[in-house]
Amino acid sequence: MRNLKIKRRVSKNAIFDVLYGFIPITEWEAKIIDSPYFQRLRWIKQLGFSNYIFPGAEHNRFAHAIGVMHSMHQMIRAVGIDVTDEELFDPKSRSQEAMLHKSLRIAALLHDIGTFPFSHAIEYAYIQHGNDARRSKGRIQKDLPNSHEHLGSYIIKNTRFAGGMTEILESYGLDVSLISKIIKGDSKYLIANQLMHSDLDADRMDYLLRDAHYTGLKYGQFDRDYLLANLEPYSAGGGQWGFGVRESALRAVEDFLISRFNWYSQVIHNPESAKFDIVSSHLAELFLKNDLIHQFDDLLEMIKAQDERFFWWNDIYFMSRCQEIKYHNKLKRHDAKELITMLLYRKPPKTLNHPLFKRRVIASEKQNKFRSDSVKSIQAFYKKTKTLVEKNGTGKEWMLLDIPKKDVVFTTSRKNLTRTKTKSVMLRDPIKIIQKDGTAKLLVDDENSLMRTLADYTIFAPSLYVNDAALKIIKKSKL
């Protein structure tokens, strides 16, 4: 025993996570996590207003981002593009393999660094509003959607000052442009893009289990360990590598996709919690139009100028603005006042029950025509109903129409993949099955896969929300 060699731990930093236990972190990751940019994520809920229906859903983007980094690390190891812990945690280790491993972990950690208050509901309002002419003159211009990806990319590449993301990353030799591209799924490495941005990526591997844990629901659960054990790299040609799932784990990956489908249909698109997401999105658009909250251009200027107000731009900021706008009567509109009250005190609007707004499962052969015809019918009904309400109302009535831009799907069908004009398994997003001879094929092409059929089905879930005053008129008309 006197000759027994003891290895010292390569990392002194670790974070305890509710799902994974202790997660070791590098010294540069510790600096990123301790920065105000990352700490802001503590104050943004992972599931928006879902906690109005599922009281346990109080978890935040902060814990999720760290969980995605850990999932990314495990996936990197599973597909064999990892380096040793000694190399990974050594700031002087700069080999191509080490830098890719480090960059993938950082991309996972920072993938939500630009998240909006209440996540996607408020983000949608910013995208719809676009760049505001009142702010744009002589200021930073980006001809891109006002999304969290582009805001996050700006933070990663344009904070070259003490405590900034760029400064921290570059001081350790990390390529901020590569990290930004990995997050967006368009880096020069196919396998990196798949790990960060595909149907089976580190983000999904974390949020399905994390959200299921905090809501207390079984939807979203899957056999994570079995999937990790069956990830397999494959040669995609042209010097590129991709990854897929071994044939023996076909049912496990299908279970993952079915869990995701059920999760989105039962939780993300829950008819009750979705109401509050739509209300908040509508209010955010009103606030932007009336210049009552930070415009997207403002946010870019704050980041550039190291303005501390950017770090306050979170869930608390948005709810506080709702309270101030209501209290000081800054929006002299009855609908705004009532909607703010509903959002602040969890008073849901009424859902209009009508055959046009019934949730439907649509088969692919009918999908495009059914959706197109349904949207036209819904818009015609909405226009007719709105005219009726305005004609017979007092001005205190309002209606909110929600037609989701994307339907709930299991995965992209072969028919829709064919529209990309390629049959290559080089495609980034779809899951690949690795056959016994080491070659890859698309999951939806496997004759033994349920997804070959299930991918052809989607859920179409439009809704029309109204207040009591409007509902009274609509009921009286027997529409």
Q: Measure CA of the first residue to CA of the last residue in the chain; give whole Å.
A: 86
Which pLDDT tens digit goes with each residue over 115-145? 999 988 899 999 999 888 887 666 666 666 8
Which pLDDT score, from 0 to 100, does residue 180 have?
96
Model confidence at 32: pLDDT above 80 = yes
Looking at residues 206-217, what average pLDDT do you find? 95
Which pLDDT score, from 0 to 100, does residue 363 have?
86
Model confidence at 1: pLDDT above 60 = no
Range scoring the smallest mean pLDDT among 78-87, 166-175, 454-463: 454-463
Looking at residues 66-87, what average pLDDT do you find? 97
Indicate whether 428 belongs to any domain: no
Q: With contact defined as beta carbons under 8 Å apart, do 146 and 135 qualify?
A: no
Residue showing tokens 């439009």: 462
Model confidence at 191: pLDDT above 90 = yes
Model confidence at 9: pLDDT above 90 = no
Indicate whether 54 belongs to any domain: yes
Contacts of 54 (CB under 8 A, 6+ apart): 47, 214, 215, 216, 217, 267, 273
Which pLDDT score, from 0 to 100, does residue 287 have?
98
Backbone angles phi, psi at 127, to 5 degrees: -65, -45
Going by C-alpha positions, the residue among 29, 81, 61 that lies closest to residue 193 is 81
Looking at residues 380-391, what average pLDDT do you find? 96
The counts of H helices and E strands in the chain are 22, 12
User: What CATH number has the domain bearing residue 154?
Assistant: 1.10.3210.10
Looking at residues 453-463, what average pLDDT do you find? 92
Which pLDDT score, from 0 to 100, does residue 4 have?
72
Looking at residues 242-246, what average pLDDT do you find? 97
Which pLDDT tens digit goes with each residue over 406-421? 889 999 888 888 765 5
Looking at residues 90-104, what average pLDDT do you find? 97
Which pLDDT score, from 0 to 100, does residue 219 have?
87
**Distance (Å, rounded) from C-alpha 202 to C-alpha 206?**
6
Q: With contact defined as beta carbons under 8 Å apart, do 125 and 281 qualify?
A: yes
Query: What is the DSSP secondary-structure string of 35-92?
Result: SHHHHGGGGSBTTGGGGGTSTT---BHHHHHHHHHHHHHHHHHHHT----HHHHH-TT
Indicate whether 89 belongs to any domain: yes
Indicate whether 355 belongs to any domain: no
**Distance (Å, rounded) from C-alpha 375 to C-alpha 367?**
12
Indicate whether 271 belongs to any domain: no
Indicate whether 246 belongs to any domain: no
Which pLDDT tens digit goes with each residue over 305-350? 999 999 999 999 999 999 999 999 999 999 999 999 999 999 999 9
pTM above 0.85, yes or no: yes
Q: How many folded domains does the chain comprise?
A: 1
Please report which confidence band the pLDDT of residue 2 belongs to, taking 50, 70 and 90 as the band edges: low
Structural domain including 18 reads: 13-216
What separation in angstroms does the CA of 84 have from each of 28, 101, 283, 440, 454? 17, 10, 50, 28, 40
Model confidence at 443: pLDDT above 80 = yes
Which pLDDT score, from 0 to 100, does residue 414 have?
84
444 vs 422, residue with greater confidence:
444
Helix axes 273-289 and 120-129, enclosed angle (nearest 10): 30
Which pLDDT score, from 0 to 100, does residue 270 have?
85
Indicate whether 326 belongs to any domain: no
Going by C-alpha positions, the residue among 348, 310, 342, 312 that lies closest to residue 326 is 342
Which pLDDT score, from 0 to 100, does residue 230 have?
98
Query: What mean pLDDT value characterizes the chain?
Result: 92
**Distance (Å, rounded) from C-alpha 19 to C-alpha 362?**
36
Which pLDDT score, from 0 to 100, does residue 162 have?
93
Indicate whether 395 belongs to any domain: no
Looking at residue 206, its amino acid is D
Please report which confidence band the pLDDT of residue 422 belongs to, taking 50, 70 and 90 as the band edges: low
5 vs 427, residue with greater confidence:
427
Model confidence at 368: pLDDT above 90 = no
In a 13 Å sphere around the CA of 132, the CA atoms on its Cβ side amount to: 21
Which pLDDT score, from 0 to 100, does residue 300 have?
93
